């Protein structure tokens, strides 16, 4: 006879059964099978009605059997899952996608139940550690946590099918989806309330989406969207509380580069899913999967290269998704996770602190915590101030107040995060003759490019804490000023009678200043980039490769990398073979790391350019500009992006992602070996 297992296992099996049958009930309505036993989509055929009746009766009987400890209930569950698999087999020939998903899901559940995995060492350790603990919340999570998490996943899948992809608007499908959604809400409230009672007051904010449901009782899809927000946040909390999560985090904290890679990949995939919804498209028809992936990658990696016209091809929902993606990408997932942990009242472990320190280039746990708070606070404050000024700029262009506020917020966040996305097809050309708007956006770009550490030092000075400014901040400030001025001079010389022809002297200056700032990673343009001369394209490529400061929203090799290599070359030329700046010597390992970053970065651009030249029928200078823009996560284009074929789009997607993660992070993925204790005899080799 099959074993029913512990209370936790019985509840998990009940959740698996309810979830699998909910998917089956929805699938039989959504599947299009004209002339078959399921009938056309969004219609309930007699067989379908009988099938639903069987599911309801059989599920109720099996749940009663589990509750009453009847061993035959497991046989009945296996029979129900097997029936679901068999019923949808014939539908595979006619409409394969929905039946295939249903069959795979039921087959996976059946396999897990027939061949259960033994408890992992993590679960055994956790059980041993908590076997004497009687706290109510931990007890609930141990007994019912797996079951509720399973139902939350199934419910979110149905919500995506109904709200996101609009697979069915039939009443029965909506009813099943809404029932499971409300069931998960009811099951999730008790443990969340226990967390609030234990002092986690911010958990109560999860009730905001539920409260908003009262205003949309006549709109089922909006109700499902609000419930989905609640479910996603609740699922995240439950997953974080799971024992296995701690071990996963320990592994990621041991390899910070892998953590960055994983989090940005997750954000990109989630953005791709949301942007592929019909609701994200301006036409109501879903955009192509590759275009959704390209846009999500460009937004989450704060690049700004586009294959679709953002204002014309995406709806307001799509614009909000894009805004959220580049806001999260700009602040950095790792920093947001740190700040969220602080808000929940927890403390990071030693490995977590080390990961944050390595990511931000800091030392000391206290500075890590303070900077994590400062990053989020300063980001929101700077973006808010910028949004106010830009709102006035749009009001001067006769925008309605609501539209002006929305446009101001979107472009302020995009500028500070160096995202390069705009709600105008010609980017910022609308402000070409508005020095105030160009100045505001330029300031936002520069503040985003100097890095949070430099902003923190500036804030301390404004508060009267006149501590000695460290070398990194001094390098960043001086180099940023030099590059900004150099860009203004070069752009003015090369574009005086090209893209800036016909402008007044004042307009030429402010547009040159704007382009000098935006070329190093922001991705906006206030002039027609198709008019750029070859000289402008060449120095622009150099600027895009340089990028901004470490710990900033900018890409590129970073200003400090360039300065350190320049200092090393100057030292070698002076016969000292060392890099010295502001009467301080830079360690040799930092010089080697800088050289490694530049080599990997240039190698990435050269490989991309070679592959683009091999597959795209476009001029060399356009593709070279595109390669540097993608690798530097800049986002400015001279018109090549919309002309790329599918191969070119995939190449750009990969390079944008790698450019954001960084060559150094990729090198860390290959191994983080310690210093070798073995010395070898020296041998001179001729170079140069």
Residue 439 has a pLDDT of: 94
Contact between 405 and 371 under an 8 Å Cβ cutoff? The reply is no
3-state secondary structure of 200: coil
3-state secondary structure of 45: coil
Find the radius of gyration of the CA atoms of the chain: 28
Q: Which whole number is the average pLDDT over 446-464?
A: 78
Least confident of 317-326, 368-377, 614-623, 672-681: 672-681
Tokens at 263, concatenated: 């989090």
CA 16 centroid distance within chain: 30
Give yes or no for residue 671 having a pLDDT over 50.
Answer: no
Please give the mean pLDDT across all residues of the chain.
79
Stretch (H or E) spanning 466 = none
Per-residue pLDDT band for 342 (boundaries 50, 70, 90) equals very low
Per-residue pLDDT band for 484 (boundaries 50, 70, 90) equals very high
Q: Where are the alpha helices (DSSP H) in 115-170?
A: 121-130, 136-159
Residue 120 has a pLDDT of: 43
Residue partners of 183: CB distance under 8 A and separation at least 6: 18, 151, 155
Residue partners of 383: CB distance under 8 A and separation at least 6: 409, 412, 413, 416, 444
Residue 186 has a pLDDT of: 86
CA count, 13 A, side-chain hemisphere, 429:
10
Helices (H) and strands (E) in the chain, counts: 29, 2
What percent of the residues of the chain are helix, what percent strand, and what percent coil, each to the nearest 5? 70, 0, 25
Residue 351 has a pLDDT of: 52
Tokens at 553, concatenated: 């929203």
pLDDT digits (tens, 9 = 90+) for 390-434: 999 999 998 998 889 999 999 999 999 888 899 998 889 999 999
Residue 558 has a pLDDT of: 85
Distances (CA, A) of 536 to 97, 232, 281, 505: 50, 47, 35, 19
Residue 394 has a pLDDT of: 93
Per-residue pLDDT band for 464 (boundaries 50, 70, 90) equals low
Q: What are phi and psi of 686, to 5 degrees?
A: -75, 130
Name 92's bridge partners. none
Residue partners of 41: CB distance under 8 A and separation at least 6: 29, 30, 31, 32, 33, 168, 170
Contact between 188 and 234 under an 8 Å Cβ cutoff? The reply is yes
Contact between 510 and 435 under an 8 Å Cβ cutoff? The reply is yes
Residue 371 has a pLDDT of: 65
Q: Which whole number is the average pLDDT over 96-105?
A: 80
To which residue do tokens 């033994």 refer? Answer: 118
CA distance 333 to 337: 6
CA distance 195 to 342: 15
Characterize the bridge pairing of strands 584-586 and 579-581. Answer: antiparallel
Q: Which whole number is the average pLDDT over 95-114?
A: 79
Residue partners of 184: CB distance under 8 A and separation at least 6: 148, 151, 152, 155, 231, 234
Q: What is the pTM of this model?
A: 0.76
What is the per-residue DSSP string for 476-543? HHHHHHHHHHHHHHHHHHHHTTTTTTT--HHHHHHHHHHHHHHTTTT---SS-GGG--HHHHHHHHHH
Stretch (H or E) spanning 684 = none
Give yes or no for residue 386 having a pLDDT over 90.
Answer: yes
Q: How many CB atoms lie within 10 A of CB 160?
A: 16
In the chain, domain spans: 1-117, 118-241, 295-669
Per-residue pLDDT band for 127 (boundaries 50, 70, 90) equals very low
Q: What are phi and psi of 37, to 5 degrees?
A: -75, -20
CA 514 centroid distance within chain: 28
CA distance 292 to 310: 11
Q: Where are the alpha helices (DSSP H) in 574-632?
A: 588-615, 620-631
CA triplet 72, 73, 78: central angle to 5 degrees?
Answer: 100
Residue 474 has a pLDDT of: 86
Q: Which whole number is the average pLDDT over 342-351?
A: 46
Q: What percent of the chain has pLDDT over 70?
A: 78
pLDDT digits (tens, 9 = 90+) for 218-264: 666 667 777 887 888 888 777 777 666 666 666 666 666 677 777 78
Residue 678 has a pLDDT of: 62
Name 580's bridge partners. 585
Higher-confidence residue: 132 or 461? 461
CA triplet 204, 208, 209: central angle to 5 degrees?
Answer: 130
Which candidate, 410, 412, 404, places its Cα nearest to that of 386? 412
Q: What percent of the chain has pLDDT over 90?
A: 20
Distances (CA, A) of 190 to 136, 140, 154, 203, 675: 10, 9, 20, 12, 52
């Amino acid at each position: 006879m099959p074993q029913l297992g512990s209370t936790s296992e019985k509840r998990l099996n009940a959740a698996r059964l309810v979830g699998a049958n909910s998917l089956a009930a929805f699938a039989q309505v959504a599947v299009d099978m004209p002339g078959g036993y399921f009938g056309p989509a969004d219609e309930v055929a007699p067989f379908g009605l009988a099938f639903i009746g069987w599911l309801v009766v059989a599920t109720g009987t099996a749940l009663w059997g589990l509750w009453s400890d009847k061993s035959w209930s497991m046989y009945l569950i296996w029979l129900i899952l097997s029936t679901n698999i068999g019923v949808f087999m014939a539908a595979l020939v006619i409409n394969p996608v929905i039946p295939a998903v249903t069959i795979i899901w039921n087959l996976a559940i059946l396999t897990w139940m027939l061949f259960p995995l033994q408890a992992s060492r993590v679960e055994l350790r956790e059980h041993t550690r908590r076997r004497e603990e009687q706290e109510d919340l931990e007890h609930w999570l141990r007994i019912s946590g797996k079951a509720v998490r399973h139902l939350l996943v199934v419910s979110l899948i149905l919500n995506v099918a109904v709200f996101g992809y609009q697979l069915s608007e039939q009443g029965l499908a909506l009813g099943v989806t809404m029932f499971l959604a409300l069931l998960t809400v009811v099951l999730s409230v008790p443990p969340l309330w226990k967390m609030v009672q234990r002092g986690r007051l911010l958990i109560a904010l999860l009730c905001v989406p539920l409260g908003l449901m009262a205003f949309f009782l006549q709109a089922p899809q909006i109700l499902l969207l609000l419930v989905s927000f609640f479910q996603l946040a609740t699922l995240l909390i439950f997953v974080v509380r799971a024992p296995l999560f701690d071990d996963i985090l320990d592994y990621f904290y041991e390899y910070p580069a892998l953590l960055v890679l994983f989090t940005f990949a997750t954000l990109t995939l989630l953005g791709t899913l949301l942007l592929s919804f019909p609701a994200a498209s301006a036409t109501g028809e879903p955009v192509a999967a590759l275009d959704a992936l390209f846009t999500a990658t460009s937004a989450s990696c704060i690049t700004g290269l586009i294959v679709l016209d953002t204002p014309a091809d995406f709806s307001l929902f799509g614009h909000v998704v894009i805004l959220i993606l580049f806001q999260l990408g700009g602040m950095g997932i790792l920093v947001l996770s740190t700040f969220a942990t602080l808000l929940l009242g927890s403390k990071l472990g030693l490995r977590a602190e080390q990961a944050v320190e390595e990511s931000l280039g800091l030392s000391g746990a206290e500075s890590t915590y303070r900077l994590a708070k400062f990053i989020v606070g300063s980001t929101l404050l700077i973006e808010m101030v910028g949004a106010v000024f830009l709102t006035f700029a749009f009001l001067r262009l006769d925008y309605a107040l609501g539209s002006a506020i929305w446009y101001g917020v979107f472009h302020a966040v995009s500028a500070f995060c160096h995202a390069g996305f705009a709600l105008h097809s010609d980017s910022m050309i609308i402000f070409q003759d508005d020095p105030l708007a160009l100045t505001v956006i330029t300031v936002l770009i520069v503040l985003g490019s100097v890095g949070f550490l430099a902003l923190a030092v500036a804030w301390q000075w404004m508060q009267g804490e006149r501590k000695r400014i460290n070398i990194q901040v001094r390098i960043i400030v001086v180099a940023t000023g030099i590059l900004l001025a150099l860009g203004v001079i070069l752009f003015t010389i090369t574009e005086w009678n090209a893209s800036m022809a016909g402008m007044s002297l004042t307009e030429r200056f402010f547009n040159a200043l704007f382009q000098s700032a935006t070329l190093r990673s922001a991705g906006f343009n206030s002039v027609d980039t198709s008019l750029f001369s070859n000289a402008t394209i060449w120095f622009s490529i150099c600027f895009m490769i340089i990028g901004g400061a470490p710990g900033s929203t900018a890409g590129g090799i970073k200003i400090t990398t360039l300065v350190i290599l320049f200092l090393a070359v100057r030292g070698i030329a002076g016969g000292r073979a060392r890099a010295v700046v502001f009467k301080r010597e830079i360690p040799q390992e930092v010089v080697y790391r800088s050289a490694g970053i530049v080599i990997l970065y240039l190698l990435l651009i050269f490989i991309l350019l070679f592959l683009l030249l091999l597959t795209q029928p476009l001029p060399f200078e356009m593709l070279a500009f595109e390669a540097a823009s993608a690798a530097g996560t800049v986002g400015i284009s001279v018109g090549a992006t919309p002309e790329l074929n599918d191969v070119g789009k995939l190449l750009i997607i990969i390079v944008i992602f790698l450019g954001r993660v960084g060559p150094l992070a990729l090198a860390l993925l290959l191994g983080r070996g310690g210093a070798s204790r073995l010395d070898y005899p020296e041998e001179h080799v001729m170079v140069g």
